[in-house]
């Protein structure tokens, strides 16, 4: 067939709302044509071919989880995408082999659960700032895009975890954040739907300029941090200190006591990694938070259960909750229902993708049937999370419903699930390094905000935000899977138009 599967893909795109996220289209495609667990798509000459995987066992081979398998490399499109962000292929998201392994090992302790728990008081400070901003907006009856504010909070938290730096960007403008925001706007253009804009001659200059600003900003923080670290002696170490220690030991054979200057190579590489953390962590977490609010507010009985749990665990004084959490971070482990809400949000609205590159001459195999699936050069091997997460075979007859209870009562027949099919943070060695941070952060946000405010969707007022300079496309409309806040593709899968809302104070 000369045009491969472009026609059917085009039809699926047409029958879904504008800019619907790519993974949702692959889900729709499979549903429409009742396609098998693993299917191929030939999208020549628009893009490369795809192997789409809706089978946990075949996926586990692609992710290097099954015995004897190795994680396939990230697809070259991921590498090109990250180059726009970092200008360099060596960042943690897209690097491979020894280079990736060395840096992942160096950064792992900085993202561990223990490390994240030690930062709970600082994370809580940022969440309180966020809550207060929302309450001010409630007072001013402001219409705004929730995703904008959740993103600023999340970036601020990443700055603290990674570098012990307060971007202080929730209320004020910040050079790094402005450059980041501008970079994302230029990345958005040309990603899909309007490829002609990819050739805008201003793009390379803007990428270079924004990268220069971001690199200088992070470079200065690293220099300062190094001086502090050396002068203050033993103090609480954060991700960048731990990575520096590991690097000096491995690469230079020196202890930190023997180190007098911040190593030039370390600095250059660390800048790329920090930018990658901000890029990989900011919109994924902020989108998930938006959807957690969206679904709890849409289901008053779920919201009531979340609030009742917060009353029971954190005490009746809603303003005191941040102090309770900061004083006893492990109390977060008692928020079982809140955790179930977050997991359910991640199941129905997974924000990130898992594109791998096929290896010519190798096959993936379905161990149940023995069927082999050959891979080809440049082929995208794609386990599609939206599709697996919404499949009745894995999550039961009510797979498309938002039911936090399924995580609390897996013993009930109606909630029977195949946990292998749940992978919002991917799986195997290349899983998300920031997942502990994201999970604790989302629990704190729910715990601090849910009892003091209501979030009301305002898609019917979207036109009033048309000229707010936010860079959201403004041309989306309609619903997908019954959601007006459907997932659109702007780099990752985000709530349409940044989720326009109004806030109502509850206390």
Binding site for ligand HEM (CB under 6 A): 74, 78, 92-93, 104, 158, 276-277, 280-281, 284-285, 288, 351-352, 354, 424-426, 430, 432-434, 437-438
Is the backbone of residue 19 left (phi > 0), alpha (psi -120 to 50) or beta? left
Distance in angstroms (rounded) separating the CA atoms of residues 212 and 154: 23
CB nearer ligand HEM, residue 332 or residue 438: 438
User: Are residues 239 and 163 in contact, defined by beta-carbon separation less than 8 angstroms?
Assistant: yes
CB nearer ligand HEM, residue 259 or residue 349: 349
Question: β-strands 380-383, 50-53: how paired?
Answer: parallel
Beta bridge partners of residue 489, listed in sequence order: 493
User: What would the two tokens of residue 184 be?
Assistant: 């994302």
Measured CA angle at 289 (ends 16, 402), to 5 deg? 60
CB nearer ligand HEM, residue 135 or residue 270: 270
User: Are residues 491 and 278 in contact, defined by beta-carbon separation less than 8 angstroms?
Assistant: no
CB nearer ligand HEM, residue 352 or residue 403: 352
Rg (CA), the chain: 23
Nearest residue to ligand HEM, using CB?
Answer: 434
Distance in angstroms (rounded) separating the CA atoms of residues 503 and 497: 17
User: What would the two tokens of residue 264 be?
Assistant: 């030039």
Measured CA angle at 96 (ends 93, 97), to 5 deg? 145
Q: Three-state SS for 102?
A: helix
CB nearer ligand HEM, residue 155 or residue 450: 155
Measured in whole angstroms, the distance separating CA 372 from the mean position of its chain's CA atoms is: 32
Measured in whole angstroms, the distance separating CA 476 from the mean position of its chain's CA atoms is: 22
Mark the binding-site residues for heme, compressed into ranges. 432
Distance in angstroms (rounded) separating the CA atoms of residues 84 and 253: 33
CB nearer ligand HEM, residue 6 or residue 355: 355
CB nearer ligand HEM, residue 234 or residue 236: 236
Residue 45 preceded by cis peptide, ω within 30:
yes
Q: Taking the complex as a whole, how short is the minimal distance between the CB of residue 383 and ligand HEM, in angstroms? A: 9
Beta bridge partners of residue 494, listed in sequence order: 488
Q: How many CA atoms lie within 13 A of 324 on its CB side?
A: 18
Mark the binding-site residues, compressed into ranges. 432
CB nearer ligand HEM, residue 106 or residue 462: 106
Beta bridge partners of residue 493, listed in sequence order: 489
User: Are residues 124 and 333 in contact, defined by beta-carbon separation less than 8 angstroms?
Assistant: no
Question: β-strands 492-495, 380-383: how paired?
Answer: unpaired
Distance in angstroms (rounded) separating the CA atoms of residues 35 and 392: 15
Q: Taking the complex as a whole, how short is the minimal distance between the CB of residue 284 and ligand HEM, in angstroms? A: 3
Sheet of strand 453-457, all strands in order from the earlier edge strand to the far edge: 144-145, 500-505, 453-457
Distance in angstroms (rounded) separating the CA atoms of residues 158 and 168: 12
CB nearer ligand HEM, residue 138 or residue 187: 187
């Amino acid at each position: 067939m000369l045009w491969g599967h472009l026609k059917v893909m085009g039809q699926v795109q047409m029958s879904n709302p504008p800019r619907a996220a790519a993974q949702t289209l692959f889900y729709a495609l499979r549903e429409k044509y009742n396609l098998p667990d693993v299917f191929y798509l030939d999208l020549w000459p628009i893009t490369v071919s795809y192997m789409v995987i809706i089978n946990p066992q075949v996926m586990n081979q692609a992710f290097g989880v099954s015995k004897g398998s190795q994680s396939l490399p990230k697809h070259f499109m991921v590498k090109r995408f990250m180059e726009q962000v970092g200008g360099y292929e060596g960042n943690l998201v897209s690097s491979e082999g020894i280079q990736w392994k060395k840096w992942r090992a160096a950064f792992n302790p900085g993202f561990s659960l223990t490390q994240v728990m030690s930062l709970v008081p600082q994370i809580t400070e940022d969440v309180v700032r966020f809550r207060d901003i929302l309450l001010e907006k409630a007072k001013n009856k402001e219409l705004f895009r929730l995703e904008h504010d959740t993103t600023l909070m999340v970036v601020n938290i990443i700055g603290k975890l990674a570098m012990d730096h307060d971007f202080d960007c929730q209320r004020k403008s910040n050079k790094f954040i402005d450059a980041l925001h501008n970079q994302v706007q230029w990345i958005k253009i040309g990603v899909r739907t309007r490829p002609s804009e990819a050739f805008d001659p201003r793009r390379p200059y803007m990428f270079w300029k924004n990268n220069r600003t971001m690199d200088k900003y992070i470079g200065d923080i690293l220099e300062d941090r190094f001086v502090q670290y050396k002068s203050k002696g033993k103090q609480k170490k954060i991700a960048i200190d731990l990575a520096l220690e590991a690097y000096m030991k491995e690469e230079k054979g020196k202890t930190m006591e023997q180190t007098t200057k911040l190593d030039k190579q370390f600095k250059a590489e660390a800048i790329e990694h920090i930018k990658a953390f901000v890029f990989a962590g900011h919109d994924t977490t902020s989108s998930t938070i938006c959807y957690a609010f969206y679904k709890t507010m849409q289901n008053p009985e779920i919201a009531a259960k979340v609030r009742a749990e917060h009353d029971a665990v954190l005490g009746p004084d809603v303003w005191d909750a941040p102090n309770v959490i900061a004083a006893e971070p492990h109390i977060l482990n008692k928020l079982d229902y809140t955790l179930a809400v977050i997991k359910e949000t991640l199941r129905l609205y997974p924000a990130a993708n898992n594109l791998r590159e096929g290896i010519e001459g190798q096959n993936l195999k379905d161990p149940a049937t023995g069927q082999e699936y050959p891979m080809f050069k440049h082929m995208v091997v794609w386990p599609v999370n939206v599709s697996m997460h919404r499949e009745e075979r894995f999550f039961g007859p009510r797979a498309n419903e938002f039911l936090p209870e399924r995580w609390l009562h897996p013993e009930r027949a109606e909630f029977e699930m195949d946990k292998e099919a749940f992978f919002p943070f991917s799986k195997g060695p290349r899983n998300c390094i920031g997942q502990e941070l994201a999970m604790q952060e989302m629990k704190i946000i729910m715990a601090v905000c849910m009892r003091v405010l209501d979030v009301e969707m305002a898609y019917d007022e979207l036109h009033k935000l048309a000229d707010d300079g936010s860079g959201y496309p403004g041309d989306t409309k309609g619903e997908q899977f019954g959601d007006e806040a459907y997932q659109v593709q702007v780099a990752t899968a985000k709530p349409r138009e940044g989720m326009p809302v109004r806030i109502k104070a509850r206390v």
